[in-house]
Amino acid sequence: MNKINVALIFGGKSGEHEVSLSSATSIYKFIDKEKYNVFTIGITKEGNWLYYEGDVENIKNGTWEKTANKNVNINLIPTINKNIGIEFENGKFEKIDVLFPALHGPYGEDGSIQGLFEISNIPYVGCGVLSSSVGMDKLICKKVFEQENLPQVKYTYTTKWDFNKNKDKVLEEIEKEISYPIFIKPANLGSSVGISKAKNREDLINGINEALKYDKRIVLEQGIDAREVEVSVLGNEEVYASVPGEIIPAKEFYDYEAKYLNESSKLLIPAKIDNKIIDEIKNMAVKAFKAIDGSGLSRVDFFIEKNTDNIYINEINTMPGFTNISMYPKLWEATGISYSNLIDKLIQLAIKRYTDKCITHLGSCKIE
C-alpha cells in the first residue's frame, strides 16, 4: 500500500505560536512513519509559510526558521499551471493527501485556515469552517449552548467600543447581572490567554482592559466554587467521549501560566467522580460537539459545583493542545487509545469526512 502524504502545519500568527510548536513536535515523533510520509510546514509569527526539513527538536525550540528552505514552493491554491502540493528546487513534486494543522488560537482554529483548506479541496484533520469559528468564539458558542439547553454559569459581555464610550454604565450593568468573583475572558482566544479573575471593581476594570488587548469583545462569567473537568471527544457522525479528567491548578485558576509554565498544576486522569456524573458529562460533551457541527476532535471543559454537584459546560476547544502529555491525548490514552493510534484515527476521520462530502456533492472522490 502506498504511503499517505501528510502535511503537518505548525506555528501561526496567534499568541499560541509556541504551544503549536510543541504539539507539532509530538505529532511528528509519534505518527506512524510506516503508514505516512510527513512534510513539515511552518508558519512564522509574521504569517510566512516555510517548508522545513530538519531536526524536529528545532521546531519545538523555535529555531526551525533559521534552516527552513525558502526555495520550496508550497502551493495550496488551485491554478491552471500548478498542482496542489510541495514543489522542490530540483523539480520534484509531492502531492499532499491530508493536511494536519497543529495550530491553536486565531488564524489556526477559528475557521480562517480551514477556509483555505476547503478551497484547496484537500482532507484536513479537525473541525470545519463553521464549527471552528463557533468553537473559537466564546460568546457565540455560549449562545449556541443556550439553544441546546446546556447548563452554563451566569454570564454577560461587553465590547471595547461600549466600554470606552460609557465605562461607568457598563460596569454597573455587569455588577447587576453577575456578582463577584467574576472571570473576564477575551471572546476569541485560547490557552487561557488574557483571562483574569476580579474580586472587586478595581480588579474588574483592570481585567477588562487586559482582555481588550486581545479582542474587541469580552465575556464575563460568574465565578463559582467548582472542580474543573475536561472530556475529549472523537468522531464525525459517530462521536465518542473519553473518560473525564480533572485539573488541579497550581494557581487560583487555570490561566496560561498554570497550564504551560507552572509544573505544580496536576491532571487527575481519570477524575474521581461518581459514575452518574461521568455519564452526564460525557453525554453533554457529545451534545455540545454535535451542536457546533464538530468533526474529528474537540476537548470539552466543564465545571462541577462543589457544594451541589451541578454541572456547567464551560467551553469547547476544537484544536486542543496535542503534545503526548496534553489533556486531550492523555484522556484517550486512559480510555484505551494510544497517542500514535489517536493520530492515525484523526487522519482517517479527516479522509472519511472528505470522501463523504465528495460523494454528497461531487458523486465520488478518493485519496490516491
* 26 among known catalytic residues: no
In terms of CATH, what superfamily is 135-149+225-318?
ATP-grasp fold, B domain (3.30.470.20)
What topology is assigned to 4-125 in CATH?
Answer: Rossmann fold (3.40.50)
pTM exceeds cut of 0.85: yes
At residue 106, the pLDDT reads: 87
Evaluated on CA atoms 249, 250, 256, 259, the torsion sign reads: negative
At residue 262, the pLDDT reads: 44
CA distance 335 to 141: 27
Catalytic residue among 133, 242, 298, 326: 326
* 257 among known catalytic residues: no
Q: Could you tell me the pLDDT band of residue 261, with boundaries at 50, 70 and 90?
A: very low
Q: Closest by alpha carbon to 342, among 39, 136, 126? A: 126
Which whole number is the average pLDDT over 69-74?
92
Residue 310 identity (one-letter amino acid): N
* Residue 221 marked as a ligand binder: yes
188 has a pLDDT exceeding 90: no
Query: What's the pLDDT tens digit per position in 85-100?
Result: 999 988 899 999 999 9
Catalytic residue among 16, 109, 246, 333: 16
* Residue 138 marked as a ligand binder: yes
* Residue 301 marked as a ligand binder: yes
Q: Could you tell me the pLDDT band of residue 172, with boundaries at 50, 70 and 90?
A: very high
At residue 190, the pLDDT reads: 58
365 has a pLDDT exceeding 70: no
Query: What's the pLDDT tens digit per position in 108-147?
Result: 999 999 999 999 999 999 999 999 999 999 999 999 999 9
259 has a pLDDT exceeding 60: no
* Residue 179 marked as a ligand binder: no
* Residue 184 marked as a ligand binder: yes
Query: What's the pLDDT tens digit per position in 47-57?
Result: 999 999 999 99
Q: Could you tell me the pLDDT band of residue 254, with boundaries at 50, 70 and 90?
A: very low
Where in the chain are all domains bearing CATH 3.30.470.20? 135-149+225-318
The top-level CATH class assigned to 155-222 is alpha beta
Name the percent of the chain lying above pLDDT 70.
92
At residue 364, the pLDDT reads: 52
For all residues of the chain together, what is the average pLDDT?
91
* 14 among known catalytic residues: no
Catalytic residue among 20, 26, 132, 191: 191
